[in-house]
Amino acid sequence: MIRSHCILRTERRGIHVDQSDLLCKKGCGYYGNAAWQGLCSKCWREEYQRVRQKQIQDDWALAEKLQREEEAAYASSHGVQTQSTTPPQPGHTSLGPFSKFEEKKTNEKTRKVTTVKKFFSPSSRTASKKETQEGKTSPSISRHASFDTDQVSKDFVEFLKNLQKPGREIHKQCRAFLVNMSSKKDLGADELSECVQDFYQNLADRQMTHFKGSSESVEQVMDQVEKYIMTRLYKSVFCPETTDDERKDLATQNRIRALHWVTIQMLCVSMDEEIPEVSENVVKAITDIIEMDSKRVPRDKLACITRCSKHIFSAIRITKNEPASADDFLPALIYIVLKANPPRLQSNIQYITRFCNPSRLMTGEDGYYFTNLCCAAAFIEKLDAQSLNLSPEEFERYMSGQASPRCSSAEGEWPHTGQGAGVAATNPVLAQLNHNLEQLSSISSRQEKVMEAAQSLQADLLSWTESVQREVNDILEKYPLTCTVSAIDANNIDNDNLPPPLTPQVFAG
Amino acid sequence: MGESLPRVHGGAQQHSDTLRRPVHTLRVKMVLLGSSGVGKSSLALRFSKDEFRSTSPTVGCAYLTQVVHLSNATLRFEIWDTAGQEKYHSVTPLYYRGAHVALLVYDITQRETFVRAQVWLKELEKQYIPGSTVIWLVGNKGDLAHDRQVPLEEGESLASNKGLYFIETSALSGEQVNELLQSVAHRVFECIGAQQGGLTEWQETPTVDLRHKDSFNLFASCCKVGP
């Protein structure tokens, strides 16, 4: 099946295609279609119908078989049930209710079977088949129907809806352009770039002249067009095989790897990574420049570069306490690029240059930062001993890995022989790590102390209750409670000595 | 004053002022070239701050913008500072691609910066398309005249030989800085602005734009047609 597909493809690509290959395989004289397995529409429908009918019959047969099995199983289990669960009840000797119950049960059963049958019924069957059929016939749609592109297309259509007539026109042109581009995959990168740039230019001009759009609205539309077009074309035009972008990417990547030993001091960068806020900005800048590769639209890539640059500016500003100039910025950006080793740096630069609106690259803030990135990349390529203020011998030694500037203070000794603090001083991350470790150990020692104190407190509490108990006991022993009855009360016991209670006297008269 | 004018709702006086003025703003790319330490960045800061309202919060002064109003146009300068260290010399041509103005800055108290300026000029001339870039020779640090190593006449003669404009400024005191920007604006508009496709229009992103208050149809605004 796969092989036949391949053959069909190659035949389609070739100029000469045999007439008989195009005709319906059934030999009805009409043209066939690869999607219909080489049949014409009529024969395909017949064939499909036949296969489907057979499938339905098979399904029915299977369903019936299942039903029979189930019934048999039910009957046997039911037989056991009647014996055990329904003992003959003296009050209900008539078979009436029981048979009714039986009836109900079988009803339930058949209903169950019908649902099973329904599952195999033609309607659901065809639906699922149709789906698979669709999937088979339109590989081109499924291929680039990734979530991203769908979302972008949807957004684009939404955006154009607001523009009414010009929007429809723009959409039509974009679609036509995309179709046109898909046939030009073999063109060189520069030609592709030219095609896209021409398309941008023509579309913008058309909007200006035909729809009397203001340049600002045209710019907005063009941004959306760029987003849509480039998201769709990205896979075929980013780092295309016709160029040596990939080779350059690898070369740059290896170059940056080989330069891992370059320190912030060698580049004369005015960023002090010991300051936490600065190192935070440095990390963010590195993240942003790496993120560039994940974006598809040139403008989004530019935005990553701009964000990265802003973080660098903040870092320099915090370090120097004054706004950063270009003299500070470019070295810092070079340092960030060396630290980040952004994936596919050259491809990304090329892609942006080829497919971004050129005015955005030569002017504007984004353009400025992009230019700086290009400078940084060019500088790294040409970087030599002189540009790092090193002697050529030193540079050679570092490049070959024979020596590392980090332990140069220890005169070529291995780093572990040098003091740990010395290593930490050269590497801010290590310094931070050491600092954190120290803090952690101090916290754990403090916790130990707290635990000790808590335990002694507990012991104290226990001994305190004991001592109190003891004291109480002592006191109780010392001063035993003796109940001595006082004299008055003792006297009172004897009621006889008391004068008789007063009795009311009644005076007559 | 500044590019935020159309957004000012209350200022009736300023508003009517903008309406009388031609609406379009042209963008001008200006590159600052010169050795490090000649005061390029200070000059750029002066351009964008002094007397004018700063258009962006200054995290850095490598990229700044400034709006200059002329009688018949508004120019929005994009000021590109370049790294002046000698080791970056080979990569700087990337900066002045598509620049309308190049300022060659040197320090009048340091002769070597004047020599370096001539090297920049040679480099610039390789890329230079006559009529597309206006070049100024700027002798900075005029306030340190007592330490002067490059006489005024030397700068003037170099400029006239090479067909450049010349001025001496002081970024520290701000002397002649605004004059420089004003005359640059005039020259640029005269030399390049008139050409077809010389300067492109600049548009602020229309967030709170008065012209769009009534209708949101992007194509409804009619008063601006591109060059």
**A243-272 residues touching B, CB cutoff 8 A:** 268
User: Where along chain A do its domains lie?
Assistant: 23-70+119-129, 144-237, 245-403
Split into its structural domains, chain B has a count of 1
Token pair of A250 as six digits: 């690898």
Query: Is A473 an 8 Å CB contact of chain B?
Result: no
CA distance A174 to chain B (A): 19
Set of chain B residues whose Cβ sits within 8 Å of the Cβ of A387: 87
Is residue A63 within 8 A of residue A116, CB to CB? The reply is: yes
Each as own residue / partner, the long-range contacts of residues A357-364 (CB below 8 Å, 24 or more positions apart, any chain) are: A357/A200, A357/A222, A357/A226, A358/A197, A359/B200, A360/A299, A360/A302, A362/B29, A362/B97, A362/B98, A363/B27, A363/B29, A363/B78, A363/B98, A363/B200, A364/B78
Residue of A nearest to B30 (CA): A363
> By CA distance, what is B211's nearest residue in A?
A214
Quote the tokens at residue B99. Answer: 């620049």
Strands B134-140 and B101-107: parallel
- So what's the pLDDT on residue A236? 84
Task: State the smallest CA–CA distance between residue B62 and chain A in angstroms.
Answer: 5
Residue of B nearest to A210 (CA): B219
Measured between beta carbons, which residues in chain A are less than 8 angstroms from residue B91? 374-375, 378-379, 382
Q: What's the CATH number where B32 sits?
A: 3.40.50.300
Q: Which residues pair with B78 in a beta bridge?
A: B29, B65
Pairing state between β B165-168 and B134-140: parallel
| Option in A219, A221, A329 nearest B62 (CB) | A329
Cβ atoms < 10 Å from Cβ of A465: 10
Cα(B195)–Cα(B212) distance, integer angstroms: 30
- Euclidean distance between the first and the last CA atom of chain A, given in angstroms as a whole number: 142
Instruction: Tell me the pairing of strands B134-140 and B63-69.
Output: unpaired
Question: How many whole angstroms from its chain centre is CA A21?
Answer: 47
Q: Is residue B222 part of a domain?
A: no
Amino acid identity of B41?
Answer: S
Q: Do A359 and B200 touch (CB under 8 A)?
A: yes
How far is CA A396 from each of CA A91, A257, A262, A348, rounded to the nearest angstrom? 109, 15, 12, 30
Fold held by A144-237: Serum Albumin; Chain A, Domain 1 (1.10.246)
User: Would the CB atoms of B60 and A316 count as touching at under 8 Å?
Assistant: yes
Distance, in angstroms, between B226 CA and closest chain A CA? 6
The pLDDT, as a whole number, for residue A337 is 95
Minimum Cα–Cα distance from A367: chain B residue = B95
Which of the residues in chain A have pLDDT under 70? 1-21, 74-147, 406-426, 484-498, 508-509
pLDDT at residue A151 in the model: 83
What integer pLDDT is reported at residue A413 of this predicted model?
A: 41
Q: How far is B106 from chain A (nearest CA, A)?
A: 15
Fold (topology level) of A245-403: Glutathione S-transferase Yfyf (Class Pi); Chain A, domain 2 (1.20.1050)
Per-residue pLDDT of chain B (227 residues; tens, 9 = 90+): 433 333 334 333 334 444 444 457 788 899 999 998 898 888 888 888 754 444 445 567 888 888 888 888 888 899 999 998 888 888 888 888 888 899 999 999 999 999 999 998 988 888 776 677 889 999 999 888 888 999 999 999 999 998 899 999 998 888 888 899 999 999 888 887 766 456 666 554 433 333 333 333 344 334 434 44
ipTM: 0.77
Q: By the CB < 8 Å criterion, does A395 face chain B?
A: no
pLDDT in tens, A399-410: 887 777 765 444
| Three-class DSSP labels, chain B | CCCCHHHCCCCHHHHHHHHHCCCCEEEEEEEEECCCCCCHHHHHHHHHCCCCCCCCCCCECCEEEEEEECCCCEEEEEEEECCCCHHHHHHHHHCCCCCCEEEEEEECCCHHHHHHHHHHHHHHHHHCCCCCCEEEEEEECHHHHHHCCCCHHHHHHHHHHHCCEEEECECCCCECHHHHHHHHHHHHHHHHHCCCCCCEEECCCCCCCHHHCCCCCCCCCCCCCCC
Tokens 């067909």, residue located = B163
Cβ atoms of A365 and A306 within 8 Å: the answer is: yes
Residue of A nearest to B38 (CA): A327
Output the DSSP codes for A235-264.
Answer: HHHSS-TTSSHHHHHHHHHHHHHHTTT--T
Candidates B36, B62, B221; nearest CB to A214: B221
Length of chain A as a residue count: 509
> A368 and B84: CB-CB below 8 Å?
no
Q: Calculate how close chain B gets to A163, using CA atoms only, in Å.
A: 7
Establish if B14 belongs to a structural domain: no
On whether residue B52 sits in a domain, the answer given is yes
**pLDDT computed for residue A311 by the predictor:** 93
pLDDT (0 to 100) of residue A144: 46
Boundaries of domain holding B53: 24-212
pLDDT of the residue at B19: 43
